[in-house]
Structure 1
Amino acid sequence: MEPRSQLSGTLFVVATPIGNLGDITFRAVEILKGVDVIAAEGVNRTRGLCQYYGIKTKVRRFNQHNQRRRAQEFLSLLKAGRDVALVTNAGTPGISDPGAFLVSKALEAGISVSVVPGPSAVTAALSVAGIPSERFVFLGFLPAREGPRRRELSRWRTQGLPLVLFEAPHRLKDTLVDIMEIMNDPQVALLRELTKAYEEVRRQKASEILASLGLKGIKGEIVLVVQSEADKDDPLDSKVMEDIKHLMKKEGTPLREVATRLSEQTGLPYRRLYKACLEVRRLEGAEGIE
């Protein structure tokens, strides 16, 4: 990281409304009015916000397709003493959007970075989910393909922590089926169109939400909060146990490597697999090395 320049401008990371345009801070509006340019994930959406609040600042597109080229342009402006505001389509930049790339480059260049906090779909969803969330896991959008999606859910199945994820309406049913099957039909809070006119907040078992969707499905922006179970150390699948025994006894693979390899293959928690390795060694005297 370069020493911070006293002559450079400031990159302001500005949270904007996730739906209701009234959910913006006075400071955010003043910052957006005062900077030299706004780096926006979606130009049209940001221009609509600017028009609503009488913000005349120039808006430039900054997304995953042009982030490398545009980052250099914004860094040049910042180094020349200009101020830049970074916004996303909705909520707080840097969460499931390309904002972190520009922030990282600015920090590496010694440029001042300042946060203007505000709305976030993640914390908004948790606040009305009715699920204890002293700690939680944010997964963003799950993989679109079934296999990777199910592996990701399996990885977090027994962590005992709420899982927060975004989902598109056309994939919601498939995701709920996977959640129901892999996570033993847990409680799920479905938050749709948060802060908007047709806001919906409900919490039911995954199977109950799935049954209520019917043939028409659902529309709008969706956040799911899923209550995963605490690890109860249920017996592992017989094939997994055979794989553990084979790796430890036939190949002499170290215990930690066995647990790591099988965790990557199956999505099961490393800790659970490592405990199984220890148990196999205790019962059968396998030659695994810790």
Structure 2
Amino acid sequence: MKTQKSFETDQGVLYVVGTPIGNLQDFSPRAEEILKKADLIAAEDTRHTRKLLTHFRISTPLISYHEHNHRTRGTELINRLLEGESIALVSDAGMPGISDPGEELVREAVERGIPVIPISGPNAAITALVASGLQTQPFIFLGFLPRSSKERKEVLKRWMNIPATLICYEAPHRLLSMLTDALEILGDRNAAISRELTKKHEQWLRGTLSECIAYLTENGTRGEYTIVIEGSTCEEGEENQEENWWTSLPLVEHVEKYIKEGLSKKEAIRQTASDRSLPKREVYNQYHQSD
């Protein structure tokens, strides 16, 4: 049990700062103030963030923190926080910690008793959801689906019978194959697909998955996409609703079943933790103790 009073601390603080997903006018005055007063800004792409800092005349030192250096750089940042420095964590766009390694830095800071203070800002998933025209709650955010069709289908199968709206991100060169897999696994559900959110060329497609696929096949794909897909409309208790199939399995066998189905060890541990409502670190530790 840990408690945190965010504004009653003289320790080093990790600020998780939301930045614009496209339109610079979405940058909040509070976020600007935090980036100016922090001792250091940890950015996913320093070149990208430098443009934001230059626009708002922010001169705080900048350091990279991304998927290729997050282990060594994360240790360095934690040590600086423990020494009393304040660090602002930013991603290329939106809230850090969502589909980027910021999640690991936040987790480590919490475990070490370092205050973590969120500075709210734009988020592509929620922005797309509220304008999708689909049910807004409950929803499940899937991030970027696996690159391989086989693994992607396995993830979709896991959520196909859940009556919750699905949200994911996708790169333009994988969008059509991802939508084709979604059509095969989920059926021809309603969907809302957005690109270039908040930017000059923002565009929306709203229709069935097959209609969206036909349009994109003819017109091409450009920019980063956020996809919102209608949840299952299966009635509670239908035969295809497989709830808690893992109940009789030991935790290790639960993880290994997902690995046999084609997931990576990391993805299998994450999904097992989600199934059992356990912290990922607890599942990770139990699984590796069995090695």
TM-score, structure 2 as length reference: 0.78
- How many residues align? The count is 249
Shift of 1:255: 8.5
TM-score, structure 1 as length reference: 0.79
SS in 2 for 1:55: coil
Pairwise CA RMSD? 2.8
Question: Following the alignment from structure 1 to structure 2, what is the Cα–Cα distance between the partners of residues 177 and 113?
Answer: 40
Work out which of the residue numbers 182, 186, 189 in structure 2 matches 1:186: 189
Question: Following the alignment from structure 1 to structure 2, what is the Cα–Cα distance between the partners of residues 141 and 266?
Answer: 17
2:64 counterpart of 1:61: yes
Question: Following the alignment from structure 1 to structure 2, what is the Cα–Cα distance between the partners of residues 182 and 76?
Answer: 46
Distance verdict in 2 for CA 1:115–1:234, change over 3 Å = closer
SS in 1 for 2:168: strand
Q: Deviation string for 1:141-196 (max 9, x for gaps)?
A: 11111111111111111212100000111111111111112212100100111001
Residue range with higher mean Cα deviation, 50-59 or 70-79: 70-79
Work out which of the residue numbers 44, 47, 58 in structure 1 matches 2:50: 47
Report what 1:86 is aligned to. 89
2:90 counterpart of 1:103: no
Shift of 1:85: 0.3
Q: Deviation string for 1:102-156 (max 9, x for gaps)?
A: 1122122221211100101111011110111121011111111111111111111
- Structure 2: which amino acid aligns with 1:160? P
Structure with larger Rg: 1
Question: Following the alignment from structure 1 to structure 2, what is the Cα–Cα distance between the partners of residues 39 and 69?
Answer: 13
- Structure 2: which amino acid aligns with 1:44? R
Distance verdict in 2 for CA 1:107–1:234, change over 3 Å = closer
Report what 1:121 is aligned to. 124
Output aligned runs, 1:82-231, within 5 Å.
Answer: 82-215=85-218, 217-231=220-234
Report what 1:75 is aligned to. 78
Report what 1:274 is aligned to. none
Residue range with higher mean Cα deviation, 47-56 or 208-217: 208-217
Quick check: 2:176–2:217 contact (8 Å CA) kept in 1? no
Shift of 1:230: 2.7
